[in-house]
């Protein structure tokens, strides 16, 4: 179940990258100016972040249902307070640093992944999960590999760097 979640999350991030890259191509061709890029990127990435939140919510419910042997419903989590403002600021910072295909892909990847990671943290908190451990994605960096295996309190936030594809696995009992 957790392996499936980590894989699905990577798929979501790749789709976010592709959609953002398409917006970048329109900017690069001169079809969009900077402000239009910001507005369109915000619309597209907001949706990808919302999908990340929904994925985390459903995956946590599925994990708990399977572990407990009884149905646990999703929490209907939403994006956190101030998400739109932070997203817009991050897009503007990316534009200010000079847009490249790579910087746009990194932005899309990190925004969609962190939305899901933060939602999973919030979900575990609401479900009263006692502890969790980090699940590495296949391309995990050295720092994340060092952190793997640690058991953290249920309400502890997960360290995640830009583009980190790690996920949390609840530890029950």
Question: For residues 133 and 6, is the Cβ–Cβ distance under 8 A?
Answer: no
Binding residues for Zn ion restricted to 64-83, rule: CB under 5 A? none
Q: Provide, rounded to whole angstroms, the least separation between the CB of residue 100 and Zn ion.
A: 23
What is the side-by-side order of every strand in the sheet holding 151-153?
151-153, 131-135, 167-171
CA distance 118 to 69: 26
Greatest Cα pair distance, the chain, in angstroms, is: 57
Q: Provide, rounded to whole angstroms, the least separation between the CB of residue 170 and Zn ion.
A: 18
Tell me whether residue 38 or residue 109 sits nearer to Zn ion (CB atom): 109
CA distance 45 to 50: 8
Tell me whether residue 90 or residue 168 sits nearer to Zn ion (CB atom): 168
Q: Provide, rounded to whole angstroms, the least separation between the CB of residue 158 and Zn ion.
A: 9
Q: Provide, rounded to whole angstroms, the least separation between the CB of residue 42 and Zn ion.
A: 25
Query: Does 166 participate in binding Zn ion (rule CB under 5 A)?
Result: yes
* Beta strands, E only, the chain: 131-135, 151-153, 167-171
Token reading at 61: 């419910």
Q: Provide, rounded to whole angstroms, the least separation between the CB of residue 127 and Zn ion.
A: 23
For tokens 């999908």, the residue is 51
Tell me whether residue 56 or residue 164 sits nearer to Zn ion (CB atom): 164
Cβ-closest position to Zn ion: 144
CA distance 55 to 160: 18
Token reading at 16: 């976010």
Tell me whether residue 49 or residue 158 sits nearer to Zn ion (CB atom): 158
Choose the binding region for Zn ion from 12-20, 47-55, 101-109, 157-165 (rule: CB under 5 A). 157-165
Binding residues for Zn ion restricted to 111-140, rule: CB under 5 A? 140
How big is the site for Zn ion, counted in residues (CB under 5 A)?
4
| Footprint on this chain of Zn ion (rule: CB under 5 A) | 140, 144, 164, 166
């Amino acid at each position: 179940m957790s392996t499936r979640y980590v894989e699905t999350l990577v798929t979501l991030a790749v789709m976010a990258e592709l959609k953002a890259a398409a917006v970048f191509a329109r900017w690069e061709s001169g079809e969009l100016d900077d402000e239009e890029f910001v507005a369109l990127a915000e619309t597209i990435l907001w949706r990808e972040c919302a999908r990340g939140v929904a994925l985390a919510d459903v995956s946590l419910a599925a994990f708990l249902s399977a572990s407990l042997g009884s149905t646990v419903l999703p929490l209907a989590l939403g994006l956190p307070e101030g998400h739109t403002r932070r997203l817009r600021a991050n897009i503007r910072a990316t534009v200010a640093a000079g847009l490249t295909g790579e910087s746009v892909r990194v932005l899309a990847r990190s925004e969609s992944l962190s939305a899901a990671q933060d939602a999973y943290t919030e979900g575990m908190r609401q479900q009263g999960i006692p502890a969790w451990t980090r699940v590495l994605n296949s391309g995990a960096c050295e720092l994340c590999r060092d952190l793997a295996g640690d058991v953290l309190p249920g309400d502890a936030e997960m360290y995640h760097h830009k583009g980190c594809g790690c996920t949390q696995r609840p530890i029950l009992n």
